[in-house]
Amino acid sequence: MQSNASDARQVALALLCDVTIHGKLLPEVLARRLSPLVAGDRARAQRLALTTLRVMDRADRMLGPYLQRRPSDRIMNILRLGVAEICQDKSAPHGVVNAMVDLVRLDKRETRLSGLVNAVLRKVAGDVEKWEKLPVPRLPKWLRKPLLADYGKDIVLATEAAHYAGAPLDLTAKGDPERLAMAVGGEVLLMGSVRLQNWGQVSALPGFEAGDWWVQDAAAAMPARVLDTKPGESVLDLCAAPGGKTMQLAATGATVTAVDVSETRMKRVIENLSRCNLKAKTVVADAVEFDEAGFDAVLLDAPCSATGTIRRHPDLPYAKDGSEFPALFELQAKLIDKALALLKPGGRLVYCTCSLLIDEGEEQIRDALTRHKGLKVDRDALLIPGIKPDWADDLGGLRLRSDFLASKGGMDGFYIAALTKG
């Protein structure tokens, strides 16, 4: 199979259109789009698409003065792709401009716009020093507005800077984090994750085949640490895929049941457990309908907007528009009620969402405390290494933001609360 740079750019454009026009998240389309390319060009196409999505707001600001009116979505994406290559990647402008013109001509209906693309990108290339003077890329209004209401301007700007910076690679060790850090050339964070700032192919890192670790953002590793399961405890991981938390729980010696509604995603959980030589009972079921009760502890990583993961998934704010929020809020409340019903008296629940939205975190806990007499927030559960006191809120939950640990590469946005059932 042979492919080349032009094929990679064509696929990158298709990915951009999948996200911005058709509202698809990249994981939904990557495999199909990348399959015709050879390995090197698959990586190039994915990187070009991700870079363009990450800088999209800045690219639009760069293009604004040169466009009398906005062109079609496809042409706009070609221009954005060109700006990202010229200004962000510092690629040779002449080759990029010619490549973008070729992309225009692939659609005969828009061939007439090749002159526009050529002219605009040449102007961009002549004014490239303006790029670094533009603001850090801002989130789309549908998401930025509620975040401003929740946190204020300074925190939103810091969050956007974290998104623009991207994310390092975090690993969770099955054994000793210090030993893993030495093996892979990483750094052990205070909360126990191993962070790599530079890495190649993940599966080629030392210890992958042996199952010594798994990929898991430092923030995503915190809920299982807060739950603090013990050997022999019966523990339920609701909404378990892709399985990082399941493996953390299993590694403590607990008896773990992992539930997820997706058979495909559960296969990935099973594969990860097998690679790491860990055991858990896996069940494909709707968490709301799961009825096996009597657990000592439950970890509920509820379906959410995933707005805390944008530094790793810059496609998310352009594939979504917030219309799903009300249904998600309702589902989260139902899942909290279900999780509590599955606990033994005196059992404990850790509720978490990889979201920056207070409605998916703090407000869910406030409402749950109102609905359930005797339910309490366990503040002491947060007294573990790596958690700073000012990360806790007035309720006793843990609010993690993308701009935390910014000098080391940030972390995903999460809300985590430990609850005890009366």
Q: Measured on CA atoms in the order 172, 235, 27, 211, is the torsion positive or negative?
A: positive
Is 354 a known active-site residue? yes
- Rounded CA separation 206/212 (Å): 9
Measured CA to CA in angstroms, residue 227 lies from 218, 333, 373 at distances of: 15, 20, 21
Instruction: Evaluate whether 26 touches 15 at the Cβ level (below 8 Å).
Output: yes
Q: Are strands 255-260 and 194-196 parallel, antiparallel or unpaired?
A: unpaired
**For 234, phi and psi rounded to 5 degrees?**
-90, 120
Beta bridge partners of 173: 213
Neighbouring CB atoms inside 10 A of 95's CB total: 12
- Rounded CA separation 109/123 (Å): 24
- Which of 125, 276, 298 is CA-nearest to residue 207? 276
Q: Are strands 169-173 and 213-215 parallel, antiparallel or unpaired?
A: antiparallel
Query: Which residues touch 410 (CB under 8 Å, ≥6 apart)?
Result: 162, 165, 167, 311, 402, 403, 404
87, 304, 352, 354: the active-site residue: 354
Q: Give the active site residues.
A: 354
